[in-house]
Amino acid sequence: MNAQLPLIDPFARPITYLRVSVTDRCDFRCTYCMAEHMQFLPKRDLLTLEELDRLCSAFVALGVRKLRVTGGEPLVRRNIMGFFRAMSRHLGHGLDELTLTTNGSQLARFAGELADCGVRRVNVSLDTLDAAKFAQITRWGRLEQVLEGIEAATRAGIRVKINTVALKGFNEAELFSLLDWCAGQGHDLTFIEVMPMGDMGEEQRLDQYWALSDLRARLSERLTLTPLAERTGGPARYVRVEETGQKIGFITPLTHNFCESCNRVRLTCTGELYMCLGQEDRADLRAPLRASDDDAPVREAIREAITRKPKGHDFDYTRQHVAGQVGRFMSHTGG
């Protein structure tokens, strides 16, 4: 098969975006993401950084233009800057963007190196600006450390986008203060509906769920929101706040299925390729990777996996039940 042919799934969607989880470990234990006492993978099961380099490079050769590094918390993996330096060689040579999603705890330490590797923007998960509530939701995190990391990234010339999970009864009262803070700092802001992933218990999921249709309606009571035509191929729908000029995104896997334009797949730190965040089907890329120094079998396995990419996920909440739930924790596939 021609190695130059782009990756096209069964629904004629080009696959140009790879999210790669480099570790399942994290220095936080956010209540909607993982259990407090997680059983992490044995280190021997993880791909080496050199193996992750081979796999990501194979995807770039097949037409992936955007690479997002995730975790767990990607910056807690030992020697992770070596991986970023290796991936930076593809920028301008197939790869348009190298970026990451982080909890911000290690950004003060690594922001300068990330910028030197060509990282121009970063997504930081931040659900509250209240230090006590931050410690509650993250279990182990310190808000001050994250804010210092965000400031360091900004100083290094990295644009920061804040990702906030909408949690009923937790950050509802901070809706406008979060918005004002982001406007003052020059950060874009994206709200995300909590997703039914991991064995957290249905009651907890239903208690946490705050529909973004309601959140957006609350914003509209005070602000003028103009829908933007901008599409990144990702799940967010964007609006501009006319009063401040800032951009707000809404990721709504439950109140609005965003799958029709999905251009992404997710690679785990053990070499599993998930074609959909909300489905259990996956492909093993570790076996062909380790069976041969030739990348042709890996590229063939990637192409075969893309033929199984589904039309969409089945996430759904009703008043009494969480449907479409998947058993793995969000940290396993990196969100």
pLDDT tens digits for 20-68? Answer: 999 998 988 888 877 777 778 888 889 999 999 999 999 999 999 999 9
Residues 101, 42 contacting (CB under 8 angstroms)? no
Q: What are the domain boundaries of the chain?
A: 17-333
Per-residue pLDDT, averaged over 221-233, amounts to: 86
Name 193's bridge partners: 166
32 is in an annotated binding site: yes
Question: Is there a binding annotation on residue 262?
Answer: yes
**In this predicted structure, what is the pLDDT of residue 31?**
80
Is the pLDDT score of 232 beyond 90? no
Does 101 show up as a binding residue in the annotation? yes
Query: What's the CATH code, domain 17-333?
Result: 3.20.20.70
pLDDT at 140: 85
| Calpha distance 158→155 (Å, rounded) | 7
Residue-wise pLDDT tens digits, 303-335: 999 999 988 755 444 444 444 444 444 555 555
Residue 320: predicted pLDDT: 43
The reply, when asked if residue 266 is annotated as ligand binding, is yes
- The answer to whether 56 is a known ligand-binding residue is no
Would the pLDDT of 207 be above 80? Answer: no
Q: Is 182 annotated as a binding residue?
A: no
pLDDT, one tens digit per residue, over 252-275 is: 865 555 577 789 999 999 999 999
Name the nearest CA neighbour of 111 among 78, 145, 156: 156
Any known ligand binding at 269? no
| 91-96 contacts at long range (C-beta below 8 A, 24 or more positions apart) | 91/118, 94/60, 94/61, 94/63, 94/64, 94/65, 95/60, 95/64, 95/65, 95/66, 95/67, 96/65, 96/66
Which pLDDT belongs to residue 206?
62
Please, what is the end-to-end C-alpha distance for the chain in angstroms? 32
pTM: 0.87
